[in-house]
Amino acid sequence: MLDEVVAALDPRPGHTLVDGTLGAGGHTRALAERVGPTGVVIGLDRDQRAIDAAERNLAGLPVKVAATNYTELGAVLDELEIAAIDGIVLDLGLSSDQLADQERGFSFDAEGELDLRFDTESGEPAWRLIARLDATQLANVIYEYGEERHSRRIARAIVERRAERPIRTAAELAEIVRRAVPRTPDSRRIDPATRTFQALRIAVNDELGSLESALADFANYLKPGGRLAIISFHSLEDRLVKNAFRDDPRYEVLTRKPLLPSDAEVAKNPRSRSAKLRVAARSA
């Protein structure tokens, strides 16, 4: 939803903006081209590979990057001696580069280690999490973070398989889940393993905790009228954004209903079909 994000943030020459989920750098590039040499876009990402690629691909543009969680925005601004900013964007989905990464297990058919961490230098990889939790704990994670109604059945299947041999790859886990979940007409459109992988990824990266913390803090860094645009991809994220924008008096909601991707964008990028964009401005 590049065009929608640019329209929402309304970048102008001299603006200071933040892309809290740098990823492949698409939003950062578009914003940097509009703020021009008198402005700056600060790109943050927990994934060092994204940072390294951005430093190469965005060279020559008014961009500063930092390998850190967007929850650390305050510390980054302090280091850069920036008092307040004009806008922030978060695109909470996985990047295409991460999905193509066979080493960390973001793709269901990946034969590399089932890691699922954005920052592989901190936290617990997913393969270790599913080896450690008992069936009840696993089911709770899969249900709470994946909203998977077959969570108990999946958890039992994982525990039964790991009793025979460790589960170490994404491909192994995906096959276990597919066998455990009854086939439905939606199975042709959405892989049955989707919700389980989502749940594990959220758990190992503490994604909802990061988002909740950021929503409470970001208003402190925005200038009056400064805008916050957030693209979410599942109801857990969207609910946090919707409630924060509604309940925090520092935010003025600019999108009464979330903006959705166009049919043309979904046709070009089917993964965007679940995207929802909400925008708020810092109240005066």
User: In 3D, which of 199, 282, 281 has the Cα closest to residue 8?
Assistant: 281
pLDDT, tens digit (0-9, with 9 covering 90-100), for 16-41: 999 999 988 899 999 999 999 999 99
Quote the percentage of the chain above a pLDDT of 70: 97
Q: What is the pLDDT of residue 183?
A: 79
Confidence at residue 186, expressed as pLDDT on a 0 to 100 scale = 63
* Nearest partner of 150 among 196, 190, 198, 191, judged by Cα: 196
What is the reported pLDDT for 99? 67
Are the C-beta atoms of residues 278 and 242 closer than 8 Å to each other?
yes
Q: Mean pLDDT lowest for which of 62-71, 87-96, 166-175?
A: 87-96
Measured CA distances, 151 to 48, 128, 132, 137, 160 (Å)? 32, 18, 17, 10, 14
For residue 95, the 8-state DSSP code is P
d(CA 97, CA 248): 34
In the chain the domains, ranked by start, together with CATH numbers, are 2-91+207-282 (3.40.50.150), 99-205 (1.10.150.170)
Which residues, 6 or more positions from 9, have their beta carbon under 8 angstroms from its beta carbon?
Answer: 17, 31, 86, 87, 89, 227, 229
Residue 212, judged by CB atoms within 10 A of its CB (0-12, 13-18, 19+), counts as middle
pLDDT above 60 for 154: yes
Find where tokens 């270790």 sit: 128
Calculate what percentage of the chain has a pLDDT beyond 90. 78
Mean pLDDT of the 138-161 span: 97
Read off the pLDDT of residues 187-221 as tens digits, 9 standing for 90 and up: 567 899 999 999 999 999 999 999 999 999 999 99
What angle separates helix 170-180 from helix 151-164, to the nearest 10 degrees? 130
Nearest to 31 by CA among 18, 44, 21, 46: 18
Q: What is the pLDDT of residue 284?
A: 75
- pLDDT tens per residue, range 92-130: 977 767 766 777 788 887 788 899 999 988 889 999 999
Report pLDDT for 100.
67
Q: What is the pLDDT at residue 269?
A: 81
